[in-house]
Homo-oligomer: A and B are copies of this chain.
Amino acid sequence: MESTTSAPRRWDTRRQEKQRRLAAVRHLADGPVLRAERLPEALESLVVSGDRVVLEGNNQKQADFLARALTQVDPERVSQLHMIMPSVSLPEHLDLFERGIASKLDFAFAGPQSLRISQLLQEGTLKVGALHTYIELYARLYVDLAPNVVLVAGYQADRAGNLYTGPSTEDTPALVEAAAFRDGIVIAQVNEIVDDPKDLPRVDIPGSWIDFVVQSDKPFYIEPLFTRDPRLIKPVHILMAMMAIRGVYERHQVQSLNHGIGFNTAAIELLLPTYGEQLGLKGKICRNWTLNPHPTLIPAIESGWVDSVHCFGAELGMEAYTAARPDVFFTGRDGSMRSNRAFCQLAGQYAVDLFIGSTLQMDGLGNSSTVTHGRLTGFGGAPNMGHDPHGRRHPTPAWLDLIQTDDPLARGKKLVVQMVETFQDGSAPTIVESLDAVEVGKASAMPLAPVMIYGDDVTHVLTEEGIAYLYKARSLEERKAMLAAVAGVTPIGLRHDPKQTARMRQEGLIALPEDMGVQRAQATRSLLAAKSISELVDWSGGLYEPPAKFRSW
């Protein structure tokens, strides 16, 4: 043996540093319960300049009280933080950078803050590590982005730190574990602290993983991101939904699936109990879902279409409904739902037949992005759901149905369907020559263009014109021609050769509504199982309690 020549090394530097910080705030806490009014002061001791800090910041719920407190620390004491946020959603998330407390950001999604991120990036106030999917951001917490501090939100905690998240479990377990088991510090804000552990409805995260809980001044902010008002579903959405049901779901026997957010997919959900029923498809398609609890799925559930729904997150107003449907939703011993974004993204990647979603821009090869000039939105979960997972080995009928050869070494494919109207509202084409993302990538000095879903992963493009079965393309040229044939009067669409269209229809490379037995005249709002939020409430037997902004009736 060649003995090591290095000096004796300490192997518990993280643990010692954690103990030092915990000791420094002991006077500001009663055991694991931090005093809310002293929170900014406590954070000045618990967070150290240069730390990697995870702030939840996930798709729906927000650790907003902790975010506000962190903006109040003195940048002379705490600065250069490297923030890791699944979702950058609140103004406070970016105030951290403007106030000189944080300097670097790794994230997965930024909705309303996407414009300001772009601006701060250009000003040099903020440096972006990378854009991620949710699941790869969690993954890095266990590899090269080990956090020093993790700030999360829950419903309730007891005085030992046991945490009850209720339906909004979401990202919390994946974020907490990365710190709890690597000598990081975990702080949870909760709406309520209970004295008796027996008053916790259930434990979602054990107290031995949590260092501090703090009672917030008001319940954590949660946004109903996945509620679509059926009033806004237009006949074109219904036509496209009919095509999806006949030309994709029925044709490939899609049993398990994920829907993106949008009126197109909401229309599919609302057509299952009507159009789907007419076609005799109940029990044959769309049985197992990985999906947020979309209110527009209520009629399909009530009509017996849905065996199971595993949820990424919770949806405001759906708490009582999901709790009353435990055969369908995942619920705990207390009766309320448990969501889990890490496991649901995993299930949506590896265990479902189909992902269908929309995009803001798609090029002639099917590459798409929601990143447009001046906005750095990130990707959320789309690239994870919207690709063919080469690590999958189990077959399903839909997956096998996409094989185009008799090579015994062939494998199936996940169905990745892009469902887009050829034009956005306001007459900007959706299908474009070149993605804005290419320019944005260059302008922001990114190593690669921020593409959401790559064309080579897309198996179907569905527009109001028809469906291009891209997985059948035998060459890149054919792929382009197929996509152009359903691209309407966009610049890409105008380029297509009408003579080719007839041949491609005959060969089954593309299909127009009439080719799949879809009657355009039937595509009216009368086909929707529910035409308003109010009708969704009726379907739910009053269990769905829509947020105020949707109570327009």
Contacts and interface: CB of A to CB of B under 8 A. Distances in A.
8 contacts: A133-B393, A136-B393, A140-B394, A143-B256, A177-B343, A342-B346, A383-B393, A390-B454
Nearest to A378: B393
A273 B391 contact: no
Contact of A531 (B1, B177, B273, B327): B1
Contacts of A202: 206, 208
A135 B383 CA distance: 18
A130 B181 contact: no
A252 interface: no
B144 A255 contact: yes
A265 interface: no
A106 B393 CA distance: 12
Nearest to A144: B288
A408 interface: yes
Given A1-B530, A408-B441, 8 more contacts: A139-B351, A142-B346, A142-B347, A144-B256, A181-B330, A342-B343, A346-B346, A411-B451
Interface residues of A, number: 113
Given A9-B304, A409-B438, A438-B408, A206 B203 contact: yes
A328 interface: yes
A549 interface: no
Contacts of A204: 206
Interface string A190-223: 0000000000001111111100000000000000
A107 to B, nearest CB: 11
A236 interface: no
A477 interface: no
A122 to B, nearest CB: 20
A552 interface: no
A37 interface: no
A2 B383 contact: no
A370 interface: no
A333 B133 CA distance: 30
Contacts of A310: 142-143
Interface centre among A4, A174, A344 (most CB of B within 10 A): A4
A139 B346 contact: yes
